[in-house]
Structure 1
Amino acid sequence: MTTSSRTLGDLFDAFEREAFRLETLDDYSKSGSVDAYQAFLAGEPQPDGYNAGWVEELRSHTVKGKRVYRVHILSRPLTDYLRFELGWGYHKNVSGGEEFFILDITEKPNPLEDVPDFWFFDSESVAVMNYDGSGKYLGLEVLPPERTEEFTRYRDAALAHAEPFTEWWAKYGT
């Protein structure tokens, strides 16, 4: 395992053009926004300040012309967590300029089987996001530069097989 003293915050502070995220899990509920997720499950309305810090972070980049975008690999029916993440999170984050794509593998094989969650900054810095089996975030692994070509292929494959979130949500959202 490659480790680095760089944090995800450091990588966000340093990127100049684009930040790409691949999400592969059906449940990140042990990794943050636990109270909001519980409110969602209880049928409560989305709190006014929900995700405000992240939306401001996004705006700080997108107003400078930087691109922040992600692909989520998923299958239907959606888990409760995915209904929360897509319904509350993605819709809120769009207001900060983040772009979303869905790679729906419900009726087709996953072209990125066994590829981990990761952030990819400026096609140069790869940060693998490690989670346990329950979706609890365990930490970041910054990979050496010689791995960037591999993760460029993963990013490009994800985008080639995905569709814009708004189009997918219009068909399958709940």
Structure 2
Amino acid sequence: MLFNSWDALQHTLLVGTLGYIAVIFLMRISGKRTLSKWNSFDFIITIAFGSLLASLMLSKDTSLAQGVLAIGMLVLFQFIITWISVRSNIFQGWVKAEPTLLLFQGEFQHHAMRHQRVTEGEVLAALRTNGLAEIEQAEAVILETDGSFSVIKKLKDSSASALLDVKGYPKQQTA
């Protein structure tokens, strides 16, 4: 169907605009954490936001109040989950993955790479992106909880305290 009615277009225009404004308002008041780099939990919430906004814009069976309430509920759930996460390491472990060591002192950590489904080429690209031409110039490459790569350049007499929460990093070397 190419066109169903002017009424349907008017509904989409009006409810879509108001729904969009409501989403922006709710995202703004919910704080920076709602819009931070994504981990799997954030990704799911963002997809749900999009789905709710699409339903609100295109379905005459969904009222503006229902759509805004549903989006508000997701914002509230996101706030509650993150609030609990920063206060409980156990709960945070359920919701958020831990960073993973992929390269350590010039050697690929193949087991971790297979587990995280990362190729050597992706690790090498991360090194190049950070201006390193040799893997030996890197102390570590870490797959972060949001899917990005962190590259730590070769350390000189450092405690490497920023690596303490990285899965696979030898903790005894930081003492």
TM-score by length of 2: 0.24
Give the greater-gyration-radius structure (CA): 2
Higher relative contact order (CA 8 A, sep 6+): 1
Higher helix share: 2
Higher strand share: 1
